[in-house]
A and B are shown apart, each in its own frame.
Chain A
């Protein structure tokens, strides 16, 4: 896929296969093109060239809204509709597609993201940031999409909430057999949650490794620079613990 913004090659002829059931993390610095690549998958950004094949079908043909309905999408801003109740937010995909969600399905989705079904009647501004993002996830999963895209989904959360939410999303992925593509700038998060880590730099994928391989030193210079940060932090923390003992 290719996308240029003026002279900037945001995505520079990237080809990528994502296996069904896998949890892939797309890691890179700001401006590396990872979000652009993700948004081209669900057509929030139109590519200059390239196609997206989803379950053997070209996802870029036909009207864009119809393609987007088949793909779950979670992003940093959450983007809950402030004038709709939680249940309506979760059910919006169904409403858009003309297949309204039952009350039971909304409750089930809330349970899936580990929230109390009684929240269904609340308005978004009555909820905490972590709860809102969980509802964002529930909304993305409402129509059982074959693919879940997440763009910095935990970026705006505090570290404790972030950690807990990361683990629940991973657990949910395993439980319902999702295929997930997550963009993050946090290598530690990618290493701990994903089973495949792709590193992007200046519009290209420069590393494509399993987390264990990356930690073991594979993936090249760019990738290792990013792995070095959490590794150094972990060492420093271990050092601190030892000094207390």
Chain B
């Protein structure tokens, strides 16, 4: 519990970002929903189309909706120019605002449908113009229902805003995603508690406003509406104020994908830059495709990627190449096609590899994949969920003529447990995984070079590769991180006991490099 409390204290900046994002999305949702509701109240077909659209949006998982805004905004650059941000605040804002639309719109339309016909006829009967009728009759009568819709939207938006981490917008989702990847449950819980707490507070305040609208006691009602709105405004203002001198200007933005190694390397680079006097910001939990585009567009300045990943995902290559040839090809391709500068290799690989328990490997006399092919018909292979669908598996199977007795898929974490328990004899491991060292596993050699290389490489956004001072700070990292050191750092973060944070593991790693 004290862990969680300690983490909660540090979440202030994330909370402020979260409040601003959710608040802006809610405001945008309201700005779109209310005129739409008025229009819908004048036309049944508009009501039908608007509600169908809003419901349809609601059926898209929030995670997918956020992700979809990336390519959408990218294509909109054709119209709005290259300055249009495709990551961070804008896509998160738009996706969440769309999400907030439905409850507000539906409540407003329902409120209008259920308004007493007599009251509406009376409004016409006393000679109100449509505008007067809207302002004096329809709006005040619908207000409590609309507020109820806004409350629902607020709770949804605050919850869904945690997912904006995946498009590079800092939020209370950062600790949740980081915690999930590093199996740091205190971090996950702290993020959830903060986000739920925020949702409860927002709901209470909006609930006060709603009750104010419902109340027949005029003075009491006005007090509740104004008080509730004032406190909400204060919350948003406090969030803004807390971010007053945290401008991104001049700060180097370091991107990281969503697994421990990436968190550690981002901190390693960041700590180095900070020591050299640079301001540093992190954008963590990004997807592979997202991080590459973010680099190309300059939304992220620095990131670590892997040659094998770029080879298939970005260069769209299916053939194989030697380790150095692959690296050089990628470096030239990036320079030419995206302007991303590949500074160099860090020294280790995070590739797919076949790993076995040392005792089993020794007993069967297996050291290489050729040895494995000999024994394979009597063995069970375990892979992660996607492994048996990947080109690596096809390549290896063909190169060595592998044919196993049984083939089983596991969640990555449980794959190692299965190996330890003897439920699989050999698994598709990741070469830099900390558990290889921790479990004392044997990584089989690949004499025919069938497995593609996944050299970790340091990549720089087009704009900053001319900053010679920055390059001087980073160059000492190149070629210095060996796979054993990376495994130890990963394991320090991943293990269940005596866990280290990515920042602490990065410091460990830094000490090993300088030694």
Are A and B physically bound partners? Answer: yes
Query: Which residues on A are within 8 Å of B, measured CB to CB?
Result: 42, 44, 63, 65-69, 73, 75-83, 92-93, 95-97, 123, 125, 139
Asked if B128 contacts A96 (CB within 8 A), the reply is: yes
Asked if B141 contacts A79 (CB within 8 A), the reply is: no
Which of A67, A76, A92 counts the most chain B CB atoms within 10 A? A92
Query: Which residues on B are within 8 Å of A, measured CB to CB?
Result: 116-129, 132, 136-137, 140-141, 216
5 A-B pairs (CB sep. < 8 Å)? A73-B126, A75-B122, A77-B117, A79-B120, A93-B126
Asked if B124 contacts A68 (CB within 8 A), the reply is: yes
Q: Which residue of B lies closest to A68 (CB)?
A: B127
Q: Which residue of B lies closest to A142 (CB)?
A: B126
Lowest 4 A-B CB distances belong to which pairs?
A77-B118, A79-B122, A69-B127, A68-B127
User: A92 CA to B128 CA in the complex, in Å?
Assistant: 9
Q: How far is the CB of A96 from chain B (nearest CB, A)?
A: 5
User: A78 CA to B118 CA in the complex, in Å?
Assistant: 7
Which of B123, B125, B141, B216 counts the most chain A CB atoms within 10 A? B125
Q: Which residue of A lies closest to B120 (CB)?
A: A79
Asked if B127 contacts A79 (CB within 8 A), the reply is: no
Q: In the complex, what residues of A have CB within 8 A of residue B216's CB?
A: 83, 123, 125
User: A12 CA to B25 CA in the complex, in Å?
Assistant: 56
Asked if B128 contacts A65 (CB within 8 A), the reply is: yes
Asked if B141 contacts A83 (CB within 8 A), the reply is: yes
Q: How far is the CB of A157 from chain B (nearest CB, A)?
A: 14
Q: In the complex, what residues of A have CB within 8 A of residue B124's CB?
A: 44, 65, 68
Q: How far is the CB of A106 from chain B (nearest CB, A)?
A: 15
Q: How far is the CB of B261 from chain A (nearest CB, A)?
A: 61
Q: In the complex, what residues of B have CB within 8 A of residue A92's CB?
A: 126, 128, 136
Asked if A96 contacts B132 (CB within 8 A), the reply is: yes
Q: Which residue of B lies closest to A126 (CB)?
A: B216
Asked if B125 contacts A82 (CB within 8 A), the reply is: no
Q: Knowing that A68-B125, A79-B122, A83-B216 are A-B contacts, what are 7 other residue pairs whose CB atoms are under 8 Å apart, sorted by A's residue number?
A: A65-B132, A66-B127, A69-B127, A77-B119, A79-B116, A97-B127, A139-B126
Q: Which residue of B lies closest to A92 (CB)?
A: B126
Q: In the complex, what residues of B have CB within 8 A of residue A81's CB?
A: 119, 122-123, 136-137
A79 and B132 contact, Cβ closer than 8 Å, known pairs A44-B125, A123-B216: no
Q: How far is the CB of B398 from chain A (nearest CB, A)?
A: 76
Asked if B126 contacts A96 (CB within 8 A), the reply is: yes
Asked if A44 contacts B121 (CB within 8 A), the reply is: yes
Asked if B119 contacts A65 (CB within 8 A), the reply is: no
Q: How far is the CB of B315 from chain A (nearest CB, A)?
A: 66
Asked if A69 contacts B126 (CB within 8 A), the reply is: yes
Q: In the complex, what residues of A have CB within 8 A of residue B126's CB?
A: 68-69, 73, 92-93, 96, 139
Asked if B125 contacts A75 (CB within 8 A), the reply is: yes
Q: Which residue of A lies closest to B115 (CB)?
A: A82
A96 and B127 contact, Cβ closer than 8 Å, known pairs A82-B119, A82-B141: yes
Q: How far is the CB of A204 from chain B (nearest CB, A)?
A: 25
Which of A42, A80, A82 counts the most chain B CB atoms within 10 A? A82
Q: Which residue of A lies closest to B117 (CB)?
A: A77
Q: How far is the CB of A69 from chain B (nearest CB, A)?
A: 3
Q: In the complex, what residues of B have CB within 8 A of residue A97's CB?
A: 127
Q: In the complex, what residues of A have CB within 8 A of residue B136's CB?
A: 81, 92, 95
Q: In the complex, what residues of A have CB within 8 A of residue B141's CB?
A: 82-83
User: A123 CA to B216 CA in the complex, in Å?
Assistant: 8
Q: How far is the CB of A33 from chain B (nearest CB, A)?
A: 18
Q: How far is the CB of A230 from chain B (nearest CB, A)?
A: 28
Q: In the complex, what residues of A have CB within 8 A of residue B121's CB?
A: 44, 75, 77, 79
Q: Which residue of B lies closest to A66 (CB)?
A: B127
User: A76 CA to B118 CA in the complex, in Å?
Assistant: 8
Q: How far is the CB of B121 from chain A (nearest CB, A)?
A: 6
Q: How far is the CB of B141 from chain A (nearest CB, A)?
A: 6
A73 and B119 contact, Cβ closer than 8 Å, known pairs A83-B140, A123-B216: no
